[in-house]
């Protein structure tokens, strides 16, 4: 196999650069399966990966991209055959293992999920890591009592971002009707409503983190922001309510007392999409492909590898909406 295109991050002393360049197969990390990548997607974590001291990349040079979908080119593992379509999210991809922003990726077989029949390679990355995380968040909340028939009041933060936008659509599709979306900018209001929100609020509407207990407003919350936003939500949860948390764009600190937990019995549910055991992943992707498949209506922007730096800047500056998928350039195997 000859040279192919990849986004490569390099660190040389104080210099930190990234961009598209030609590499060979020997630049890929080890693994049992070589995959011709069809699509990847842009996530908040990918934005952090290309920042100096972003806390994601563990060694350089590195190909970022924490997820991918594609076709098996060759496999040393009998579970996967040439021509099989697959999806990979999380684990060490794009961190210490070369990731999805390349025309080829070499991946350990234990990280790979066969693509569900009802999902295309493009659809898989419309969901990607963000959609996988949204699904895990909803599953956790439903495991803790959230049901459409109970008509709960639900709050979704970061509602026009990757995880939040997918969550809004899934919640709306499966029958939830009282969904409040938290947005930061005026132009995001109509976007959130188009995705399924029945009410839209701004951060100031949450109030400041002052009282250990506030008026009960929400039965459940799906938080993608963290920081002060998560801190403000917890005292407003109803008795027995739950909040899932999966992001830290608003900070990693949590200001809270034990009172909501011991007087209202609320639950704080941590969501990790990186290290979900591989034997649990096919069922989650199956749910996404069937009842929760909103890929046809998702707000999605399709870009090329060359466009990645510009869109990462949008993510960093809070100008990014919905999902961005990266269509990897065609390359003859």
Q: 147-152 contacts: CB < 8 A, separation 24 or more?
A: 148/174, 148/175, 148/176, 148/177, 149/175, 150/219, 151/177, 151/178, 152/176, 152/178, 152/219, 152/220
What does the alpha-carbon distance between residue 245 and residue 271 come to, in Å, rounded to a whole number? Answer: 6
Alpha-helix residue ranges (DSSP H) falling in 160-307 = 162-173, 188-195, 203-206, 227-233, 259-263, 281-289
- State phi, psi for 180 to the nearest 5 degrees: -100, 130
* Rama region for 31: left / alpha / beta (φ>0; ψ in -120 to 50; rest): left
Q: What is the pLDDT of residue 332?
A: 41
Q: Find the angle CA(201)-CA(203)-CA(188) to the nearest 5 degrees.
A: 55
Place of tokens 């972003």: 54
d(CA 151, CA 171): 12
Handedness of CA 226, 232, 234, 237 (dihedral sign): negative
- In sequence order, the β-bridge partners of residue 182 are 201
61's tokens? 């040079």
Q: Which residues of 286-309 are buried (b: 16+ CB within 10 A; e: fewer)?
A: bbbbeebbbbeebbbeeeebebbe
Right CATH number for 130-270 from 3.40.50.720, 3.30.1360.10, 3.40.720.10, 3.20.20.70? 3.40.50.720
Residues of the chain with CATH 3.90.180.10: 4-115+299-327
Q: Please state, in angstroms and rounded to a whole number, the distance separating the CA atoms of residues 293 and 273.
A: 18
**Cα–Cα distance measured from residue 114 to residue 278, given in angstroms and rounded to the nearest whole number:** 11
CATH 3.40.50.720 segments of the chain: 130-270
Three-class DSSP category at 38 = strand
Among 3.90.78.10, 3.30.460.80, 3.90.180.10, 3.40.1390.10, what is the CATH number of 4-115+299-327? 3.90.180.10
- Report in angstroms the alpha-carbon separations of 210 from 213, 233, 239: 9, 12, 19
Residues 88, 86: Cα–Cα separation, whole Å: 7
Q: Is 89 helix (H, G, I), strand (E, B) or coil?
A: strand
- Measured CA angle at 137 (ends 56, 264), to 5 deg: 115
Q: Cα–Cα distance between 64 and 311 in angstroms, integer? A: 14
Q: How many C-beta atoms surround the C-beta of residue 256 within 10 A?
A: 16
Instruction: Give me the tens of pLDDT residue by residue for the chain, a chain 333 residues long.
Output: 789 999 999 887 777 788 899 999 999 999 999 999 999 998 888 888 777 776 788 788 999 999 999 999 999 999 999 999 999 999 999 999 999 999 999 999 999 999 999 999 999 999 999 999 999 999 999 999 999 999 999 999 999 988 999 999 999 999 999 999 999 999 999 999 999 999 999 999 998 777 889 999 999 999 999 999 999 999 999 999 999 999 988 889 999 899 999 999 999 999 999 999 999 999 999 999 999 999 988 878 899 999 998 888 877 777 777 789 999 965 444
DSSP H/E element including 10: strand 4-12
């Amino acid at each position: 196999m000859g040279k192919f295109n990849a986004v490569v991050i390099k660190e040389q002393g104080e210099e930190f650069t990234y961009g598209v360049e030609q590499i060979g197969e020997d630049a890929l990390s080890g693994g049992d399966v070589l995959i011709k990548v069809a699509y990847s997607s842009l996530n908040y974590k990918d934005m952090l990966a290309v920042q100096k001291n972003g806390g994601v990349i563990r060694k350089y040079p590195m190909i970022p991209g924490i997820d991918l979908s594609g076709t098996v080119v060759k496999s040393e593992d009998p579970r996967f055959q040439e021509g099989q379509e697959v999806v990979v999210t999380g684990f060490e991809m794009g961190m210490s293992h070369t990731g999805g922003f390349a025309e080829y990726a070499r991946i350990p077989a234990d990280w790979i999920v066969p693509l569900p029949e009802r999902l295309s390679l493009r659809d898989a990355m419309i969901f990607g890591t963000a959609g996988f995380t949204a699904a895990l968040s909803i599953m956790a909340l439903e495991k803790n009592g959230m049901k459409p028939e109970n008509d709960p009041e639900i709050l979704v933060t970061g509602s026009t971002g990757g995880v939040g936008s997918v969550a809004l659509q899934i919640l709306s599709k499966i029958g939830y009707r009282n969904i409040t979306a938290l947005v930061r900018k005026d132009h995001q209001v109509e976007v959130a409503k188009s995705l399924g929100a029945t009410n839209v609020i701004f951060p100031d509407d949450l109030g400041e983190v002052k009282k250990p207990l506030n008026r009960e407003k929400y039965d459940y919350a799906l938080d993608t922001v963290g920081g002060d936003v998560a801190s403000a939500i917890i005292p407003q949860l109803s008795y027995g309510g739950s909040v899932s948390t999966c992001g830290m764009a608003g900070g990693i600190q949590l200001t809270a007392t034990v009172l909501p937990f011991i007087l209202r019995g609320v639950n704080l549910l941590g969501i990790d999409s990186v290290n979900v055991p591989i034997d649990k992943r096919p069922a989650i992707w199956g749910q996404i492909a069937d009842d929760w498949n909103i890929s046809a209506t998702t707000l999605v922007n399709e870009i090329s590898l060359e466009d990645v730096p510009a869109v990462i800047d949008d993510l960093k500056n809070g100008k990014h909406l919905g999902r961005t998928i990266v269509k990897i350039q065609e390359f003859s195997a």
